[in-house]
Amino acid sequence: MASSLLDKREPRIRAMFGNIARHYDLLNHLLSLNIDRYWRWRATRLAPPAADGPILDVCTGTGDLALAYDRAAHGRLSIIGSDFCLPMLLPARDKTRRRRAADRVRFIEADTQRLPFPDDSFQLATVAFGLRNVTDTDKGIAEMVRVTRPGGRVAILEFSRPRHWFIGPLYRFYFRRVLPFIGQLVSRSRDSAYNYLPASVMQFPDGEELAAKLRGHGLIDVKWHPLTFGIATLYIGTKAVSASPA
């Protein structure tokens, strides 16, 4: 069962997220008790946009982090959100039109493992809760680093495993028992998407293990910031000025 849940081949992941796209925002906010909004806002503060240069948000889903950066930049920067699941991008484009941000925030269909951008293009490359869904994590990180300009940053917001003696067991019970039940009930996912979620988080590197992986791809000054008792963690690294793409 575990191996089938963690089947991360591109067609399976694309189909799974396509099937839950219309419920995705509702369930994100419901199942996180709306804390996911705070996590994205915190990401824009800990990895703030610079005054110039475009921003890329990969695995953008329905575009919440891309739009959070648009707000943080006061609508002064060009932002691109990319995702290889078109049904997830449709709500993102709707949000952009409603916020009258379509002239500066664009969403394109693209695989994070093969980004269609030149080297050194973006001041900041971000991802929120999507890196663990990339079939080859290292390819995804390498592409984010490649398209970031020297001196620019890579910021990764991802679920992690809290170690607190009380919060940890409570979180694991909620994540393994309550969240999948509610998620499947609302989404009616044919691919057990909300069983895949806790399985993918529990087997994905976090903390120093993921930070070390980022350093292995040439990022320097890598820091990680646990959020809400370590339920989520923000990782930030800088692309060295003299570094070549990983």
pLDDT number for residue 192: 74
Percent of the chain with pLDDT over 70: 96
Q: What dihedral do alpha carbons 208, 210, 213, 219 form, nearest 10°?
A: -80
pLDDT, residue 191, reads: 62
Chain position carrying tokens 């895949």: 196
| Residue 166: exposure state from Cβ atoms within 10 A (0-12, 13-18, ≥19) | exposed
Query: What is the predicted pLDDT for the residue at 14?
Result: 94
Q: What percent of the chain has pLDDT over 90?
A: 73
* One-letter identity of residue 71: R
44-102 pLDDT, tens digit per residue, is 999 999 999 999 999 999 999 999 999 999 999 999 999 999 999 999 999 999 999 99
How many residues can be counted in the chain?
246
- Write the pLDDT tens digit of every residue in 166-199: 989 998 898 888 888 888 887 777 667 788 888 8
Rounded to two decimals, what is the model's pTM? 0.93
Q: Are 123 and 96 in contact (CB under 8 A)?
A: no
pLDDT of residue 3: 47
What residues pair up with 178 in beta bridges, in sequence order? none
- Residue 162 pLDDT > 90, yes or no? yes
Domains and CATH numbers, the chain: 9-162+204-239 (3.40.50.150)
Largest CA distance in the chain: 51
Q: Is the pLDDT at 217 greater than 50, yes or no?
A: yes
Q: Kindly state the tokens that stand for 219.
A: 């990022």
Residue 190 confidence (pLDDT): 65
Is the per-residue pLDDT at 105 higher than 70? yes
Angle (CA) 192-155-206 rounded to 5° is 55
- Measured CA to CA, the distance from residue 148 to residue 202 in angstroms comes to 29
Contact 105, 66 (CB under 8 A): yes
Beta sheet of 105-109, edge-to-edge order: 105-109, 79-83, 55-58, 122-128, 148-159, 232-239, 219-227
Determine how many CB atoms are found less than 10 A away from the CB of residue 241: 10
Range with the poorest average pLDDT among 178-182, 206-210, 231-235: 178-182
